[in-house]
Structure 1
Amino acid sequence: MEHGRPVDLLSCADEPIHLPGSIQPHGAVLFFTPGGTLEGWSANAPALLFIEAQLGTPYAALALPSAALELLGEFTGQQDDDIAPSVVPVSIGGADYDCIVHAAYGRIIAEFERRDVASSEVALFAVKAHGSIDRLRRQKTIDGLLASAVQQVREFTGFDRVMAYRFRADDSGDVVAESRRDDLTPYLGQRYPASDIPVQARRLYLLNTLRIIVDTGYGAVPMLGEPGATPLDMSHAVLRSVSPVHIEYLKNMGVGASMSVSIVINGRLWGLIACHHMSPKLVPYAIRMSADVLAQVMASTIHSIEARQQSELVERSSSTRTALIEDLLLDEEPLDVLKRHAQALMDSSAAQGLVASQYGKLLVRGDLPPGLAEAVIASLPEGGHDLVLRESLDGWPSHLHAQLGKWVGLLALPFEPAAGGWVILLRVEQIEQVAWAGRPEKTTATGPLGPRLTPRGSFDAWYETVRGRAIGWEQTVLANARLTLAELVRVMNSRRAQTEATRAQLLAMLGHDLRDPLHSINMAGMVLEKGNSQPTLGRRIQSSTNRMQKMIGQVLDMSRIDGGIGLGVALDAVDLSALVEDVMDEARLAYPDIAFELECSTPATVSADSGRIAQVLSNLLSNARHHGEVGKPVRVCVSTSGVDAVVEVSNAGAPIAPEVVATLFNPFKRTSLHNPRNRTGMGLGLYIAQQIVREHQGELVYRHADGQVVFALRLPLRA
């Protein structure tokens, strides 16, 4: 049978540790066929057990204690080749042993493990262990449970250090509780990479939940058997020899003996109880089994606590979602609502940052660097309706990698795609959350078998493994995000439907019920103005009705735009310079106190609907008149640039705030409604003007230069 093979850092990940071909020397092993004939033994078995080992010998013919033979007899001839271990105490040659027998993979395996403690002392330890189980069951939190467990395991086993590991979704592990000898360096709070426990080792931790190394300086005892026979699978064996890489790792930590107990929940390795002793130490099998039972109780209790925490998290998330939706139904501005609930949304999803957007406006929470929020939104798919998940740099466009910094985890909810409506939760990379115990000076050390990881060196390995990777989005968080997205979309659709219904009613009223009466009132105003009795009153009536007619026209135009009908422009050759002068003359007549100055006028002919372009120009002059500094002129310039004609309308004023610029061409802007400098404005003028210009294949843009607010109208020149 094969005994050992060279192992280094590159090969330890595929080392067949369940087939070591050797055992630890504090006991001996015999293994039999299902029929009970001897198939192999450890090299030290004849000397320790005082037997003559020969292949094919029936178990009953071996000079073993009667209790051991009776136990072997219970396993012989069984149909099931996977039977849990049974144990009996025996005495051989004046030495005490625990005889542990189990059946697995078509063989019966008998292990004789030396016991240095009397049976009476073992019983006392077992009583202590049962008391510990009762105390653990009363714990209400996982942290409290683990802290209590490591203290109690240390008390009844006597190890110098006992730690509780908790594994993350990526299989890296944190030391979350520790009880130690006062002179030992603390490991509490440290995290180790998943590579510290290779895949095959995790498998063994699930199959055999307790493993002990009595002396890290042991010399492995080879297994003997028929040449060419199938190697003995020792997955369930207690004396199994362990990987030389692991032995060197423990030696580098100054550990003389170790024991680990698996905490398994729903078939997954949730954590470990890891015990270290600075010198060799043999803990009797019965006491180890008490620790194993303790771990099973812990697993059950942890599962109950996590289920309760999960339920509380779901309830808390539901409350946050309900409060958010209720506020959205009452408030006009979604971003204002999201601002009030931002922290609750971050808490319920374990996020460290939040970005929300709508109509180009931004809400940012968290220490994001300038410009990152805009870049994050720009990286999202347009018109998407599903959640967007990113958990590492690989999920982001490559041109953003340098800008992202630590913000590598993203969960984005597109609540209103047409308006660029996003709620984005952000997580930092894992290394930002690790409480480092100190940077390692070196990552490997050279041992008898070549380069090996040192304990502190594991940090660098983990650092390299997870750099640029955030903690993955948990299923509970994703489920809540989907529910939240569905509710947000429902609210947005409801608001849109309500707005459409209200607008339809308004348009019907404006188009049918108001236009005719307004026309009659306007005619009456003209009569009064031309008469001699009330000329001032007549002019006032006409002015009011003209404003109302303009408002009605704007709303009807917006309805045509939103309905997809378009404004129906009729293109013809238009002298743009002449049209600008006509519109300015009308403005001068209407507002003689305002200085309208034509600074430049280059001849320019465009293909346009003169009435609609005059509407755009009138709106720009009106805005400049309303918002410009008092006493300063409104300036207009007509020029050409390449294949375009350009009309610039400017007024003296401060720059428009960035958040206002983002919604400048949106309808019903909050900044336009109830504006003291334009009380009758509804925020539709620029929206309609932009649509008119677009139907002319042109462009309408804002800029600020030299103390002037400038709106530039650009139209293609007529060929």
Structure 2
Amino acid sequence: MSHDFQTDIDAVARIDAVNTILNVICQTTGMGFAAVARVTEDRWIVCQVLDKIDFGLAPGGELELVSTICNDIRDSGKAVVIDHVAEDEAFRTHRSPLQYGFQSYISMPIVRQDGSLFGTLCAIDPNPAKLNNPVTIGMFEMFAQLISAQLDSVDNVSLARAGLASERQMAELREQFIGVLGHDLRNPLAAIGSGTNMLLKTPLDDKATRIVTLMQGAVVRMESLISNVMDFASGHLGSGIELAKVRGDMRPALLQVIEELRLANPDREILARIDCETPVHADPVRVAQLFSNLLANALTHGAPELPVEVEASANGGSFLLSIVNGGEAIPAHLHAELFQPFSRPSGSAGRSGLGLGLYIASQIAEAHGGTIAVSSTADETRFTFSMPTG
């Protein structure tokens, strides 16, 4: 591999947002492989990759260019989106899916400021996926633009001026990144949520009611994922967790979270003991987000046959919120790692989620001057958030 390609790989590696972008792509599309690739007239080389399907490529890995659909994209300069290769007239006999065994594919060109093609932002999976829609395509377009903008910044700014230029560029990238997630994903999600609410007000048979209820649960879960990614982007790129503190009763916010997650998990039992009449000086929206992340974590990783218990109290100058689930104990040496971004509890391989919930919860706790403690035995796993009431 030539020095120029290593320079390209290093340039992409220096873009902090790329790892988050690849994680968001896999989680929102359900696909198992996403990558940023350098594409030239005769080479296809991976610069950064997230591989959950053991495709076998790492940064610096190379595929024969003519065996890839990116070769077509290099010629046309246009994205290629395939929901199901076997049903796609243009690509069902193409060499690439036949050779590499994928059924869904999306690749967006990364075009530099001077109009030249750097490469592609692409994703594949052995199963079909719903990709050919404005939300997914718009997300890929914006992510490709973000990568291109940062690559241009790396090229155009000297090392002596990199600090100031990077700060300005990161501010722009943050606003664009959050704008994509906040507008292009949340607006259609809100429409889906409104549609399911309307459907449940009409006469439906039992099967249709179950399906619409599951859709409502998926909307709640997706809203949580979007909020976590937006907060991670804000915190990781500089602005941190913002609070709007008021003094008031925390019960309505906690009860709303419980009802939302009961809706999203109709087969799970949630037992709640809420005793917090003492007013608390906090941001109720952020505390509800923290609680939602902890409770969703317990429902996801706890034993499904056992109830999840919630205890909340506000007295003696402290607000305490505990979430308890049964199931396999989390080893003590892993407790600190739980609150790192993209981390998941032991035994969670294959479970859904970005691995940001506990990290965001810990940041919200810290912003309130509080802490989250974890204890785990064969009998129960308990996460406890504590903060001053004043």
TM-score by length of 1: 0.28
| Higher helix content, 1 or 2 | 2
Q: Which structure would you say has the larger RCO, counting Cα contacts within 8 Å and 6 or more residues apart?
A: 2
TM-score by length of 2: 0.49
- Structure number with greater Rg is 1
